[in-house]
């Protein structure tokens, strides 16, 4: 899930945060990447014969379309896929889905479709970062295919707020504790939902996960693949599982890394995700104590949590100055703290940012918050903070009323997470302003008859707790569980050779590990 969205609004499940941090803060020189194979090699695939047959006659023209790949960024190739805006009216309006391909570097085996999570993160950016995200065995064997799911990136993007409004939204207090703060909170949540409807029109009704999964099957056919080979991270696991339910006979090899329990309601998802971030924060503080002669946060985990809590109280009362004449407000500070928790390798960034904040500067925490929100010096680089709201609220419009966030509800969340619990409790109100209405009926995900699906979880994953992967593997008829013992969000290419070998052997050779396998 790259994003929890605004923790303020609604739960998000994103892997893309950590690779965005990697790209932005990589302090080492890049090694020259091997040149892609000749384009002629890419077309002489060893993949199975094409199956472009459509599930219904009115979709035939979409399934039989040919992609017009053109060089777009160096050795990368771009194209667009045409799909119906509304699959219930396939002969009506259409939209274009943006695609990006990283050609295979060696003997091409086929196409690997990838999704980084969110929902809302552009998959084209994920594929463009393939040399950092994926290891050489996959880069050599597969064309890495990223797509911006409908409503995101360059695929009929959802728009809800101006940049100035979005700045204010992300800076606002995610944990209102006075009547005035609650009124301001309710106003900004309502403004967000109304803005999506006013600025995006009918598109806001057609960005559901089910519709994005239908788009993936059109993409599979257009790529010339008889079955889908896919690696989805975080929310991308929900997208992949949805695909498997809708098209079980088209499931080839699916890796669902950082899995989401698709059976949970928003309340239970929120409680368990809050607990995950609490575990990650405690692990970060314990690591500080274990590795530093004197941890700047304190001599115990409880002292460290108290130091961070006191800092946040101070920032809420008196925002810190940041570069470019900006102020680090309480909402920004929460995102700045959450972002490095996605990946243990970037805990050093959190330490640097907290030290700086304790010394009176909000610049470093603001930089981390900006990465989380995809905000650059000139404004937002994608619409992920808006798309996540529209997609999540269309998938599940249920919402707690603002007056229902009472002491009992907050207490339940704070039992799971003393640090983040109340924020997640308030996030249950996030879809109160949503005005989208889907034409897709809800589905129960079992994927009966599908080929084996690899479901991956990490013991101390802050955003998608291990129990979610365990549950999804049970829910899928052919789910196979792979568990990583470690910190951070998602498991692949995180330094665990056992995990990486198992995933690569499955994708490349079809070797299905024992269920479960612990690494």
Q: How far apart are the first and last CA of the chain?
A: 22
Flag whether 331 is in a domain.
no
| DSSP-derived pairing of the beta strands 479-487 and 517-518 | parallel
Report the phi/psi class of residue 496: left, alpha or beta, with left for phi > 0 and alpha for psi in -120 to 50: beta
Flag whether 477 is in a domain.
yes
Model confidence at 464: pLDDT above 70: yes
Flag whether 267 is in a domain.
yes
Model confidence at 1: pLDDT above 70: no
Preceding omega of 119 cis (within 30 degrees of 0): yes
Give the relative orientation of helices 16-25 and 363-373 as an angle to the nearest 10 degrees: 130
Please report the DSSP string for 456-492 in residue order.
EEEEE-SSS-HHHHHHHHHHSTTEEEEEEEEESS--T
CA distances from 104 to 73, 78, 131, 169, 493 (A): 15, 15, 11, 41, 18
Please, which residues bridge with residue 482 across strands? 456, 517
Please, which residues bridge with residue 97 across strands? 81
Flag whether 308 is in a domain.
no
Rounded Cα–Cα distance for residues 68 and 262 (Å): 35
Please, which residues bridge with residue 380 across strands? 375
Flag whether 209 is in a domain.
yes
The mean pLDDT value for 44-72 works out to 79
pLDDT, tens digit, 9 for 90 and up, residues 264-307? 988 998 999 999 999 999 999 999 999 988 999 999 999 999 99
* pLDDT greater at residue 81 or residue 463: 81
* pLDDT greater at residue 293 or residue 103: 103
Model confidence at 141: pLDDT above 90: yes
| Contacts (Cβ under 8 Å, ≥6 apart) of 269 | 11, 260, 261
Model confidence at 224: pLDDT above 60: yes
Flag whether 317 is in a domain.
no
Can you give the residue range of the structural domain that contains 414? 63-302+378-519
Confidence of residue 52 (pLDDT cuts 50, 70, 90): low
Flag whether 174 is in a domain.
yes
Q: Residue 432: its pLDDT value, please?
A: 85
* Domain count for the chain: 1
Radius of gyration of the chain (CA): 22
Confidence of residue 5 (pLDDT cuts 50, 70, 90): very low
Rounded Cα–Cα distance for residues 150 and 155 (Å): 5
What percentage of the chain has pLDDT greater than the value 70?
A: 90
Confidence of residue 34 (pLDDT cuts 50, 70, 90): very low
Q: Residue 466: its pLDDT value, please?
A: 95
Give the single-character DSSP code of 32. Answer: P
| DSSP-derived pairing of the beta strands 228-233 and 251-257 | parallel
Q: Residue 397: its pLDDT value, please?
A: 85
Model confidence at 25: pLDDT above 80: no
Report the phi/psi class of residue 214: left, alpha or beta, with left for phi > 0 and alpha for psi in -120 to 50: alpha
What percentage of the chain has pLDDT greater than the value 90?
A: 76
List b or e across 69-98, with b for residues whose CB sees 16 or more CB atoms inside 10 angstroms: beeeeeebbbbbbebbbbbeebeeeebebb
Confidence of residue 309 (pLDDT cuts 50, 70, 90): very high
Instruction: Give the CATH number of the domain where residue 449 resides.
Output: 3.40.50.1820
Model confidence at 319: pLDDT above 70: yes
Question: What is the helix, strand, coil percentage profile of the chain, to 5?
Answer: 50, 15, 35
pLDDT, tens digit, 9 for 90 and up, residues 247-268? 999 999 999 999 999 999 889 9
Confidence of residue 51 (pLDDT cuts 50, 70, 90): low
Rounded Cα–Cα distance for residues 157 and 400 (Å): 27
Model confidence at 12: pLDDT above 90: no
pLDDT, tens digit, 9 for 90 and up, residues 337-368? 999 998 888 899 999 999 999 999 999 999 99
Helix (H, G, I), strand (E, B) or coil at 168: helix
Return the closest-CA partner of residue 342 out of 53, 17, 70.
Answer: 17
Are 262 and 172 a contacting pair, CB within 8 Å? no
Confidence of residue 53 (pLDDT cuts 50, 70, 90): confident
The mean pLDDT value for 467-479 works out to 97
How buried is 353 (Cβ within 10 angstroms: 0-12 exposed, 13-18 middle, 19+ buried)? buried
Which residues are the active-site residues?
234, 461, 489
What is the overall mean pLDDT for the chain?
89
Flag whether 42 is in a domain.
no
Please report the DSSP string for 207-263 in residue order.
--HHHHHHHHHHHHHHTT-SSEEEEEETHHHHHHHHHHHH-GGGEEEEEEES---TT
Model confidence at 14: pLDDT above 60: no
The mean pLDDT value for 175-184 works out to 89
Confidence of residue 463 (pLDDT cuts 50, 70, 90): confident
pLDDT, tens digit, 9 for 90 and up, residues 422-439? 999 999 998 888 888 888
């Amino acid at each position: 899930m790259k994003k929890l969205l605004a923790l303020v609004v609604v739960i998000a499940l994103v892997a893309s945060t950590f690779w965005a941090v990697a790209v932005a803060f990589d302090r080492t020189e890049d090694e020259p990447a091997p040149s892609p194979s000749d384009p002629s090699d890419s077309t002489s695939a060893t993949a199975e014969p094409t199956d472009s047959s459509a599930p219904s006659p009115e979709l035939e023209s979409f399934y039989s379309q040919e992609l017009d790949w053109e060089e777009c960024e160096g050795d990368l190739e771009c194209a667009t896929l045409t799909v119906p805006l509304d699959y219930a009216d396939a002969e009506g309006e259409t939209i274009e889905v943006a695609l990006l391909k990283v050609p295979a570097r060696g003997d091409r085996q086929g196409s690997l479709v990838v999704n980084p999570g969110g929902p809302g993160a552009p998959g084209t950016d994920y594929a463009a970062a393939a040399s950092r995200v994926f290891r050489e065995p996959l880069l050599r064997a597969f064309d890495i295919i990223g797509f911006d799911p409908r409503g995101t990136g360059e695929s009929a993007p959802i728009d809800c707020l101006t940049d100035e409004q979005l700045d204010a939204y992300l800076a606002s207090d995610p944990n209102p504790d006075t009547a005035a703060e609650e009124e301001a909170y309710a106003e900004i949540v309502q403004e967000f939902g109304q803005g999506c409807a006013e600025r995006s029109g009918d598109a806001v009704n057609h960005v559901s996960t089910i519709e994005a999964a239908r788009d993936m099957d059109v993409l599979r056919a257009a790529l010339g693949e008889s079955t889908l080979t896919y690696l989805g991270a975080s929310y991308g696991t929900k997208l992949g599982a949805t695909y498997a339910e809708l098209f079980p006979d088209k499931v080839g090899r699916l890796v669902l890394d950082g899995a989401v329990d698709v059976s949970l309601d928003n309340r239970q998802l929120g409680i368990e995700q809050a607990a995950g971030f609490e575990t990650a924060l405690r692990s970060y503080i314990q690591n500080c104590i274990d590795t530093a002669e004197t941890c700047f946060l304190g001599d115990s985990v409880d002292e460290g949590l108290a130091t961070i809590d006191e800092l946040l109280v101070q920032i809420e009362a008196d925002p810190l100055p940041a570069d470019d004449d900006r102020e680090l407000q309480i909402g920004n500070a929460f995102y700045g703290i959450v972002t490095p928790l996605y990946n243990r390798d970037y805990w050093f960034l959190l330490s640097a940012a907290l030290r700086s904040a304790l010394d009176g500067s909000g610049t470093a925490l603001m930089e981390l918050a900006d990465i989380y929100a995809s905000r650059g010096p000139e404004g937002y680089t994608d619409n992920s903070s808006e798309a996540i709201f529209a997609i999540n609220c269309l998938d599940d419009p249920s919402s707690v009323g603002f007056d229902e966030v009472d002491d009992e509800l907050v207490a339940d969340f704070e039992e799971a997470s003393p640090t983040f619990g109340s924020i997640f409790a308030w996030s249950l109100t996030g879809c109160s302003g949503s005005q989208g209405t889907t034409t897709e009926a809800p589905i129960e995900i079992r994927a009966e008859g599908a080929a084996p699906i690899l479901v991956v979880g990490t013991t101390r994953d802050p955003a998608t707790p291990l129990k979610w992967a365990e549950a999804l593997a049970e829910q899928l008829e052919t789910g196979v569980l792979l568990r990583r013992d470690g910190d951070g969000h998602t498991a692949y290419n995180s330094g665990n050779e056992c995990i990486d070998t198992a995933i690569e052997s499955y994708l490349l050779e079809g070797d299905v590990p024992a269920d479960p396998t612990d690494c």
